[in-house]
Structure 1
């Protein structure tokens, strides 16, 4: 299994690093038709295929900043919440996120509002490279994170939900996500062609 995890990391290091930087696609933040989560370890939010510590990764939680973190309910019921955020790495070392979890979520997985969602998208946050001196943005309408609300848990507007980012090498960082009112987000152009 280790070889399979390494292949995923290599594939996404270039392709998704660039995709995440260019994810300003338009559309509603609607995650209806959500994918299956069978590839995920529901206890840790990590991929079943990624393992092992890597030297040089132990300071990831200190060096990576996660900001502008917020959530909103998506879909036709109250069982899924989309999470949006920015990840910034100002250091000269690339780091790897190998899982994201929350006590409020039974599963967390990658999603894109406007694209067909396959295994690589679902597992985006189980092997995501945060390149050196880069910022990755996960906005409404682009690649983002989806939380399946855990049984017995409630996520409501005005709450702050703790989300833990796990890094290869064993470090982790907990970030509070603000829950906002659910509404569609769409980029529109004025008659002059400028974005509003």
Structure 2
């Protein structure tokens, strides 16, 4: 099955499930980019979680999430950060991971009225340089930055991949 169809199928399945809401903080730096000033208001971030490897030291924590652009304007994701990781990079489970994959979330277009799913069986993010103190908490903050300077921070539950 092609990745595009996998993403659509996963999105449809997730929308059928009753999921707990994610509390988000929105930030706008006031920088003016036509059509991009309030991207954080148009983007919904759901189903977010940071999964720890089953065996400590065997693998890296992985960040999964769903992004929904509810507007009629395409927005651009320019970065994702978390105090739990020195760096978050793009990764694909079943494909060769190139520099383009690693930097995917630094220039990701979020098409208008579209949902993109980043789950374990496809594109998602790896936590490089995990901070053990932050990972010992039940949740960690993750901040998504958008073209134009706005951002949205959400709380991601930390879970074991065995769950």
Cα distance in 1 for partners of 2:54, 2:162 equals 11
Query: What is the DSSP-based 3-state SS (H/G/I as helix, E as strand, rest coil) of the residue aligned with 1:140?
Result: coil
Q: So what's the TM-score if we normalise by structure 2?
A: 0.75
Cα distance in 1 for partners of 2:162, 2:4 equals 23
Task: List structure 1 runs of 4+ shifted beyond 6 angstroms.
Answer: none
- Larger fraction in strand: 2
- Structure of larger gyration radius: 1
CA deviations on 1:116-166 (whole Å, 9 max, x unpaired) are 10011101100011100100000111100111244563414x711100000
1:55 pairs with 28, 34, 46, which one?
34
Cα distance in 1 for partners of 2:97, 2:54 equals 15
Cα RMSD between the aligned structures?
2.7
CA deviations on 1:36-57 (whole Å, 9 max, x unpaired) are xxxxxxxxxxxxxxxx973211
- Is the alpha carbon distance of 1:53 and 1:79 closer, same or farther for their aligned partners in structure 2, counting shifts above 3 Å? farther
Q: Which residue of 1 aligns with 2:125?
A: 145
Which runs of no fewer than 5 residues in structure 2 stay unpaired?
10-30
Contact conserved, 1:67 with 1:85, CA < 8 A, in 2?
A: yes
CA deviations on 1:74-97 (whole Å, 9 max, x unpaired) are 386167210111100111001000
Which runs of no fewer than 5 residues in structure 1 stay unpaired?
1-17, 26-51, 185-196
Cα distance in 1 for partners of 2:77, 2:96 equals 23
